[in-house]
Amino acid sequence: MRRIHPDFEDDPDLVAAYAQPAGEWLRLNMVASADGGAWLKGLSGGLSSEGDRRVFGILRGLADVILAGAATVRTEGYGPARPRESWRALREGRPPAPPVAVVTRRLDLDLGSPLFTETEPYARTIVITTESAPRDRRAEAAKKADVIIAGEYRVDLVPAVRELRDRGLGAILCEGGPRLNAQLAAAGLVDELCLTVSPLLIGGDAARILNGAASQTRLTLAQVLQEEGFLFCRYMREMSDELAG
């Protein structure tokens, strides 16, 4: 892998390349085709590469919690994040692996899946749902996960993210899907986008990495890495003049 922006370096230290500010930080990590599709044949894996998987692992190792929408969890077959030897230094002073937090309005989840039955006590899965979710499903979920109620009929991501941070989970890594990404952006919660651009044209009806209400978040291109035709881009949210001043 080689860095081609803002400087040139062969085989850069990826942990240093993806270091994030201390404290509260929410980054999206997505892969997309060259024409903007977020999946191939329904899955993101068809757009990925060995380099993308290395970056994916490092971002997970740096995170306090992994955030994902229920559709992504179901489609991609999520399980708990497993500790890696390469994470030992990254996670010094923290649990060996981050928990997964699932955003679900209706609690339409397989509570018998490994995501709920194979977690360690230090990384118990978190379910973020609504007051209107079926009470019996909420009670069942609470037996196997920590349940956060945020919003009456739709998940309100502002209090949801605040609750995660109140639990000491300040470094949030969102892995999608596109609808959740769009909701986070619309709520002004996105600090960073890590985007892998795959050298494929796919056409079809795959969503873009944001799929939802229109919103604008101005970004600065902070870094670009390259490997085998794949581009690994880091975009940082620009501070407004008011905040900067």
Distance CA(60)–CA(173), nearest Å, equals 7
Q: Which amino acid is at 222?
A: A
Give the model confidence (pLDDT) of 139-148 as tens digits: 999 999 999 9
Cβ partners under 8 Å of residue 133, min gap 6: 104, 105, 106, 107
Does residue 60 contact residue 66 with C-beta atoms inside 8 Å?
yes
What 3-state class would DSSP assign to 69? Answer: strand
Provide the b/e sequence for 72-109 (b: ≥16 CB within 10 Å).
bbbebebbbbebeeebeebbeebeebbbbbbbbbebeb
Give DSSP secondary structure letters for 14-33: HHHHT---SS-EEEEEEEEE
pLDDT of 240 = 52
pLDDT band per the 50, 70, 90 thresholds, residue 41: confident
pLDDT of 223 = 98
Give the model confidence (pLDDT) of 71-109 as tens digits: 999 999 999 999 999 999 999 999 999 999 999 999 999
The mean pLDDT value of the chain amounts to: 95
Q: How many C-beta atoms lie closer than 10 Å to residue 16's C-beta? A: 7
Q: What is the CATH number of the domain that holds 158?
A: 3.40.430.10
Distance CA(44)–CA(115), nearest Å, equals 19
Domain count, the chain: 1
Distance CA(236)–CA(153), nearest Å, equals 32
Mean pLDDT across the stretch 231-240?
A: 89
Q: In 3D, which of 133, 212, 207, 128 has the Cα closest to residue 172?
A: 128
Give the model confidence (pLDDT) of 121-134 as tens digits: 999 999 999 999 99
Distance CA(30)–CA(205), nearest Å, equals 17
State pTM to two decimals: 0.95
pLDDT of 243 = 36
pLDDT of 244 = 38
Report the residue count for the chain.
245
Does residue 23 contact residue 188 with C-beta atoms inside 8 Å?
no
pLDDT band per the 50, 70, 90 thresholds, residue 245: very low
Q: How many C-beta atoms lie closer than 10 Å to residue 31's C-beta? A: 27
Quick one: tokens of 205? 């009806």
Q: In 3D, which of 83, 98, 87, 80 has the Cα closest to residue 167?
A: 98
Q: Which domain holds residue 194?
A: 2-244
Does residue 14 contact residue 58 with C-beta atoms inside 8 Å?
yes
Strand partners, 236: 192, 220
Give the model confidence (pLDDT) of 157-214 as tens digits: 999 999 999 999 999 999 999 999 999 999 999 999 999 999 999 999 999 999 998 9
Give the model confidence (pLDDT) of 214-230 as tens digits: 999 999 999 999 999 99
Quick one: tokens of 226? 């390259």
